[in-house]
Structure 1
Amino acid sequence: MGPTCFNNFMRFANLTSEIKALQFNILTGYPYDHPSMIDMVTRSPQNLAENLVAVLKGFEWAQVGVALCKECYSDDDLSSEKYFETVENVFDQSHVAVKEILKLEKGARRENISEQIEVFEASARVILLMLGDNLNDYVEYLEAMALRNWTNEEYTPVLVLSKNVLNGLDVPWKSDPSLLRLFDKTIIIYNNVYTRTKTSQFTTKYSFSTNEETVISLQMYEAYYVLAHYLNTAITSDFSLFNYTQPEKAIASMNISGPFESIYINTAGQRLAGYDVAVVDKNQTSFDYILHLGTVLTDKNCAQLACLHFELNSTLSSFYEAPKDVPLCGFHGEICDQTGVIYAILVVLGVVALFVIAYIAFRKVITNSKGRSISNPWLIPFTEIHFIDLTNTDGSQHMSIQSLQRNADEKARLQSLARTKQIATVDQSYMLVDKFVMRDKIRFDRYDANMLYQMKSHLQHDNLNGFGGLSFDKASHIFIIWSQCFRGSLHDHIFTKERQRGTSNNFEGAFLRDILKGLEYLHASALNYHGNLTLHNCLLDSHWIVKLSGFGVNRLLVKWKSSGQIFTEDHTPVIKSEELHYFDPAIKKIWKNMTGTKADNGLITPVFGRKCDMYSFGVILHEVIFKKKFVENFIDSPKDLGEDDSVLIDDENDVQASKFPLPIVIPEGIEVHNDLVKMLENCFGANRPDVPLARKITDTVLKMSGSLVDLMIKNLTAYTQGLSETVAIRTAELTAETEKNDQLLMELLPPSIATDLKLGIRVDAKTYKQATILYSDIVGFTSLCSESEPIEVVTLLQGMYQRFDLIISQQGGYKMETIGDAYCVAAGLPKENGHLHVEIICMIALLQRESLHNFEIPHRPGQYLNCRWGFNTGEVFSGVIGQRAPRYACFGEAVALASKMESNGKEDRIQMTLASQQLLDDFFPRFIVSSRGGITIDGYGHLLTYWLEGDDDKTQYQVAREEIKDRFEKLNKNGDSSPSTSAPNSAEISSDGRPKDKMTLAKEKVLAERKREEERMLQEQTIHEALGDAEEQVELAQVLVDDDEDHGKNGLDDLRSTLSSPTLEDEDDGEEEEVGKPIGNDARINSQASTIPET
């Protein structure tokens, strides 16, 4: 922030540019543009020049003269008139011609000035005067004009005062009325950017010794505001704004509201702020004889993103005409030598133009730029109101705009509420609209119109809500429009659970202080009193500041209802029963007795109205302090009074609402100061306190610790914690559902594939050189289904597949699909595992077969299922099919041949191809395999296949089987009942006293069973050996008895019988083989083809 003197300007400017830092100039204007510097001075040479150009173009002046006295500003270190060269350059760029520049000396006498100003006679009629900071500095020049008999109508002096006018213009004719004649018709352009009304809060809070200190402090405050806005936007919205090479362009693109008014920075880093324009008119009735012509306005609709323009006040265009910069006949009379024909044409055109101008001027007088009446700004055209569907929002009758999610429980109530309350936008601002039905056209008398004008135009305060106005549609409805605050009403904040937070007493004090400040302003205004003070009408804006709303409206509603001009559309009372307890019973009695005529005007005096406001404040104080309803909730219901009528007040509800609790009962757990209780009782008594006294008591008793910002932070922190709890609950629910979805997805797809799909990674089809595919199918399933109920079939398949899935999960296979009773399993994909895939499939097939031996058909006790299994090893390719319901599938001849192995297999047998058998023989010889021989398969010819009989490694197989059994029993136990809490037996405890793990238990169990099996087999072997010895002895005795001849004949017959009978294997296969003929189709699948050698 700086610099503090001119000598340091270029040094700091070059330094900040070198280190890429922002510099804000807040002291005095300089005639230089420099990168990375923002000039916040309102009287800088650039801003002064832009204001002059805007005024000159507004008056359509293209050429001027200048009278300049640089020495007159020698005592003003902050002046910019000494840099007139910069102003002259801006004039040249804007095509404003400076015909003459007259440089005067400080203290020059009027006689000398009279001789010097002769230079303007032949070149200029509009003279810009820069002779000092005060109007007294221009007296000598104006007297010099009088000496030359120049009138202000012929030569227009424009007095330029760039110094900030903080306390208004100091006019010299106050002390010397004779000077008014000299200043008459002079135009004054003065710097009125920091008006008292805009900066009152700042200047009241901080005191300064001089106006220069005040201006510098205001400019410094605004500079910090712009910097904060720039950094906040860069951090939260657009990180690219950290571009220190051209920061002025980044800041120029922003909309900066500013602490006092909107701040505009152009692309050169210059702050543009409009000056005021006035004319001195001795015929004015005002005390200072100054007629305000308008203010130079600022907008962003230009290439520099900030530019100034000036338009004459539309109300003055009918009686004030700006003088010309060129005489009617020119400076030398060269324009007036036209012929009579031209004069005639000009007269005709002048008459036509006069009618056009008169019509336009008349329209401008009665309407503003938006087509609204200037005399009645509170009258809003209905076409400018854009309604929002209220049933799609959430909240009370004063809803928060931030809440847009509909609550199903309140849907019916909101639909009823929409008959009288609506949310709308007017001029791109949210508004709350009350709707009533008109029986007759409403006419406004002078008192009503003046009150509405005051409410719309003059009642401006930080603690008052903006009154939008009234509007009428073509369907006999009247709409009362108020600004809608961001956070709803104070009633919502206190009594709505969704918004209620633990508000501290200090913050309650801030709320009450805001209410009293707004009430104090209303009591001192032309409105005299509020008349409709309720918690519903205490709105909270985005900064947690309370704004009073609804003031003055009840007077009109009661008047119109008493005369029968309005009623509610849903036939409920005009004054809602939930707000009845806020009003003094005395004023409600007067309302009920009103007739809607002029005789009602004196019934409610300003003093009585202010006392009724204090009654309402007492009710609000009771509800805010105790957070308890003053009376019970009342619900309005339509009254049967005919189609076009409704009551003003529900008398039944009013009887209960008018009972106020005296003495005051303080709820348990709440501590209230005695002075506050006393004031609360006085609000309901005859000796009611006024607003200043109530404010003094509340400020003392409910004294705030820290600033209002600290209290706002506390409240926002509590609000955030409440939202955090809600978010945590919703997040936990979402996490649980996500886990379920992930678990289901992992069942449908392989985990690695599912993870890639979740991350958005494309899963391409892949070829696997070697994988093993297993198919199984239930034998006789079709006939079983025809004889069973559907639910029985589903139960059967669920039980069987539950066992199969456990086996696959344990062994590391992947279930490809199930179609009815058909079951397909793959191993070796999507993650390749060398040759382990064939071992996995063998274990799966064996364990599935054994599990079926123990699986009884649920609806057929004593019957068991039988399946066929078939698998094959070979090259396959796989990928994900589909998007809405993706499915992982594999294809290839190896898959088709695996299916053939199952379909051509036998009941309760596991068939495999030669490729699978060779892998088992090479890498896993522990599996017991037997040859089936050659079989004919459609499409493949004659293939050699094998049966998988079992696993020779009993220990590993038994461990897997026991683990499957334990997991299935645990699954059933968790599904049927709670887990057992019985103590473990001694066999489950290790030597060190700790429980044994499942694998240890399973191994010990398998070893015990294996030992018992070996003992059984040893016993059987002993029995077989004894039987064999006995049979040999019998056969030997028989041979000795038979004679030789009979023995030879019988032996020959036995040999022939043996040679002619088929083998046992041929009987099983039912097929005959040709000796020496190759069987198979080497062209289709070489790895599966084979030959049977000759015997």
Structure 2
Amino acid sequence: MTLSSLTLKSAGRTLTLLCLHCYQGDWVWLKKVSVGKSMTAVNQNTQSLFSHLREMRHENLNLYLGLFMDCGIFALVVEHCPRGSLADLLADGNMRLDWMFKSSLIMDLIKGMKYLHLRGLSHGRLKSTNCLVDGRFVLKVTDYGLPMILHAQNLNLSEDPQDLLWTAPELLRNPVQGGSFAGDVFSFSIITQEVISRTLPYAMMDMPAHEIVDRLKNPPPLCRPMVSVDEAPDDCLSLMNECWNEDPNKRPSFDNIFKQFRGSNRGKRANIIDSMLRMLEQYSSNLEDLIRERTDELEVERNKTEKLVGQLLPKSVAQALKKGKPVRPEHYSDATLYFSDIVGFTTISALSEPIEVVDLLNDLYTMFDAIIATHDVYKVETIGDAYMVASGVPNRNGNRHAAEVANMSLDILHSIAAFKIRHMPEMKVKIRIGLHSGPVVAGVVGLTMPRYCLFGDTVTTASLMESSGLPYRIHISLSTVKVLASLKLGYHIDTRKAQVKGSEDTYWLMGREGFTKPLPVPPDLSGGASNHGISLDEIPVERRQKFLDRQKMMKK
């Protein structure tokens, strides 16, 4: 026999260790008996009794294979049941047990006990921990005849109150070595309660074990478990009540129990394999529903992800990146770019808390995003207060790119007139807008956080048009004017004379035929006021001192 170091179970006070070993090539249980004193040999009476027990053969009995005696250790060698005890199976929340499954386990227990009683042997220690379950979910009774073996070896039992919950009341009052047939029937009824409700004995009473044992010994009132009527068929509940009758003589024998329980199934065989197949079919059906539900949820999340990626990158670029393909730079011969920023943003930031600045930009750009969604344009990026949009990139739209950006700019300029800063509602937000048309090169930069960027002189010129523009004005270049004029859509354009001799004139986009939305009136800058800053009069009174202090600090 090979000793395994794995200790798998504890079986009460008397059987302190249940260890797994290899015996003649098969796994077996070695159940060590706590004898309380050293033993040197197994006496003749024990050997004779064990030989009789070893000869018992039944599919619902866990067979005895031998006795072990070495180094003062006395143990029983029994068959190995890989699924552990009935108590373990019932306590496993992941194991679903329908009534057919439960009734099959109960019928196995009945057949095993019927076999023992027909051969004149009572169990004496029947409990759910002494009912083992093999790999085919067949229940097998173990520890039968153990009290007689211990008695033959002159060993005494000392049991914990928890181990006495299965013991019949009459045996609690007057213990009998080896128990009795009626006592085994009572123990069977308590195990039936465990199987039906999948709870410990008397669990619903919420009392310590020693109090329950005392109440069992000293009725009235009678102390019995309580089982809900909808947890098992009425015939089974009635049989269970008969089996825990206070009068041992009124309890049925296992032969009668077998007949009654078989009748309660209405002639159906309690076949655990059929039950398992039914459970597998139900599990398969539930699994299909679960997979379908999870697939729908996955599809929703995938659409959200694709939508988010589509907002960060053009669709064609995102698809290429997802497939692991390289995204090569692409040349666009015709495009119009839009740049805008907030006039005096540095001053507004100085007068605001950081979180207020974030709220300002979020409110403003949420409004801008709603507007551009109605035009054939692509939002390239936002950097601080700078907002960059393109048309003709990445979607080539012929010569409509200038009109799309021009129309969008007029809508943004109209909306900014009614925009209010949450923490300074009396202060107006003024923006400068610059447009320019021409060729660009677009490409993806970076791998960790890829960005879709535009390159070329057109980008630089569009940015210059914005920075050299004026508040509440749309500053456009000659190239954009030519494209708009070719469309003949009735755009209203004024000339802005060049500020430097020899340089080109630029233009103001003032409106369009059919565009009736009011636009904000540009401020008068004839007095030399800056087109980049905010005057003291525009700052709320309660924040002016902070502005003045900042100005003094900058001069120092």
Shift of 1:747: 3.1
Asked if 1:631 is matched to 2:225, the reply is: no
Of residues 630, 635, 652, the one that matches 2:211 is 652
Change (3 A) 1:449 1:827: farther
Asked if 1:513 is matched to 2:107, the reply is: yes
Residues 779-818 of structure 1 show CA distances to partners (whole Å, capped at 9, x for unaligned) of: 1011111111223222221211110110122214222222
Shift of 1:858: 2.0
TM normalised by structure 1 equals 0.39
Alpha-carbon distance in structure 2 between the residues aligned to 1:924 and 1:469:
106
* Residue 522 (structure 2) aligns with: none
Shift of 1:952: 2.4
- 1:467–1:483 Cα contact (<8 Å) kept: no
Match of 2:381, SS state, is strand
- 1:580–1:657 Cα contact (<8 Å) kept: no
* Residue 139 (structure 2) aligns with: 546
- 1:423–1:430 Cα contact (<8 Å) kept: no
Residues 508-567 of structure 1 show CA distances to partners (whole Å, capped at 9, x for unaligned) of: 4423222223334555789x5545433455555665543446667788999999689xxx
Of residues 366, 371, 389, the one that matches 1:825 is 389
* Residue 620 (structure 1) aligns with: 191
Residues 317-339 of structure 1 show CA distances to partners (whole Å, capped at 9, x for unaligned) of: xxxxxxxxxxxxxxxxxxxxxxx
- 1:920–1:927 Cα contact (<8 Å) kept: yes
- Kindly report which structure 2 residues correspond to 1:758-837, keeping only aligned pairs within 5 A, or say none: 760-762=323-325, 764-769=327-332, 770-837=334-401
Match of 2:481, SS state, is helix
Shift of 1:857: 2.0
Letter in 2 for 1:583: T
- 1:763–1:880 Cα contact (<8 Å) kept: no
Match of 1:446, SS state, is coil
Letter in 2 for 1:652: E
* Residue 582 (structure 1) aligns with: 166
- 1:435–1:479 Cα contact (<8 Å) kept: yes
Of residues 841, 845, 852, the one that matches 2:405 is 841
- 1:514–1:545 Cα contact (<8 Å) kept: yes
* Residue 865 (structure 1) aligns with: 429
Residues 833-874 of structure 1 show CA distances to partners (whole Å, capped at 9, x for unaligned) of: 333333222222221111111102222233211112223333
- Count residues with an aligned counterpart: 507
Change (3 A) 1:703 1:851: same
- 1:775–1:870 Cα contact (<8 Å) kept: yes
- Kindly report which structure 2 residues correspond to 1:150-549, keeping only aligned pairs within 5 A, or say none: 372=2, 380-382=3-5, 385=6, 443=39, 445-446=41-42, 462-464=59-61, 483=80, 485=82, 499-500=95-96, 503-504=98-99, 506-521=100-115, 528-535=121-128, 538=131, 543-548=136-141
Residues 570-604 of structure 1 show CA distances to partners (whole Å, capped at 9, x for unaligned) of: xxxx7573x6432324555678xxxxxxxxxxx52
Alpha-carbon distance in structure 1 between the residues aligned to 2:193 and 2:149:
28
Asked if 1:947 is matched to 2:541, the reply is: no
Could you tell me which runs of 5 or more consecutive residues in structure 1 were left unpaired when the two chains were aligned: 1-367, 373-379, 391-396, 399-419, 565-573, 592-602, 638-649, 962-1063, 1071-1095
* Residue 327 (structure 1) aligns with: none
* Residue 686 (structure 1) aligns with: 248
Shift of 1:912: 3.1
Report the identity percentage: 28
Alpha-carbon distance in structure 1 between the residues aligned to 2:68 and 2:335:
80
Change (3 A) 1:623 1:691: same
TM normalised by structure 2 equals 0.70
* Residue 701 (structure 1) aligns with: 264
Match of 1:765, SS state, is coil
Alpha-carbon distance in structure 2 between the residues aligned to 1:694 and 1:745:
69
- 2:103–2:270 Cα contact (<8 Å) kept: no
- 2:46–2:149 Cα contact (<8 Å) kept: no
Alpha-carbon distance in structure 1 between the residues aligned to 2:26 and 2:301:
41
Greater Cα shift, 764-773 or 516-525: 516-525
Shift of 1:768: 3.4
**Larger strand percent:** 2
- 1:772–1:873 Cα contact (<8 Å) kept: yes
Alpha-carbon distance in structure 2 between the residues aligned to 1:880 and 1:433:
69
Alpha-carbon distance in structure 2 between the residues aligned to 1:902 and 1:732:
47
Alpha-carbon distance in structure 2 between the residues aligned to 1:814 and 1:423:
72
Shift of 1:927: 2.9
Alpha-carbon distance in structure 2 between the residues aligned to 1:930 and 1:913:
11
Alpha-carbon distance in structure 1 between the residues aligned to 2:67 and 2:370:
75
Change (3 A) 1:703 1:848: same
Match of 1:804, SS state, is helix
- 1:768–1:829 Cα contact (<8 Å) kept: no
- 1:492–1:500 Cα contact (<8 Å) kept: no
Alpha-carbon distance in structure 2 between the residues aligned to 1:480 and 1:916:
97
Alpha-carbon distance in structure 2 between the residues aligned to 1:861 and 1:810:
27
- 1:796–1:857 Cα contact (<8 Å) kept: yes
Match of 2:483, SS state, is helix
Match of 1:889, SS state, is strand
Alpha-carbon distance in structure 1 between the residues aligned to 2:107 and 2:452:
69
Letter in 1 for 2:483: L
Match of 1:615, SS state, is helix
- 1:456–1:469 Cα contact (<8 Å) kept: no
* Residue 550 (structure 2) aligns with: none
- 2:202–2:224 Cα contact (<8 Å) kept: no
Alpha-carbon distance in structure 1 between the residues aligned to 2:223 and 2:417:
87
Shift of 1:666: 8.0
Change (3 A) 1:840 1:500: same
Residues 180-237 of structure 1 show CA distances to partners (whole Å, capped at 9, x for unaligned) of: xxxxxxxxxxxxxxxxxxxxxxxxxxxxxxxxxxxxxxxxxxxxxxxxxxxxxxxxxx
- 1:533–1:617 Cα contact (<8 Å) kept: yes
- 2:147–2:177 Cα contact (<8 Å) kept: no
Match of 1:825, SS state, is strand
Alpha-carbon distance in structure 1 between the residues aligned to 2:430 and 2:405:
19
Alpha-carbon distance in structure 1 between the residues aligned to 2:367 and 2:385:
14
Residues 325-382 of structure 1 show CA distances to partners (whole Å, capped at 9, x for unaligned) of: xxxxxxxxxxxxxxxxxxxxxxxxxxxxxxxxxxxxxxxxxxx6xxx3xxxxxxx242
Letter in 1 for 2:356: E
Match of 2:432, SS state, is strand
Change (3 A) 1:617 1:440: closer
Letter in 2 for 1:446: V
Alpha-carbon distance in structure 1 between the residues aligned to 2:493 and 2:206:
87
Residues 100-146 of structure 1 show CA distances to partners (whole Å, capped at 9, x for unaligned) of: xxxxxxxxxxxxxxxxxxxxxxxxxxxxxxxxxxxxxxxxxxxxxxx
Alpha-carbon distance in structure 2 between the residues aligned to 1:576 and 1:749:
71
Change (3 A) 1:584 1:798: same
* Residue 917 (structure 1) aligns with: 481
Of residues 277, 280, 286, the one that matches 1:713 is 277
Alpha-carbon distance in structure 1 between the residues aligned to 2:315 and 2:67:
65
* Residue 539 (structure 2) aligns with: none
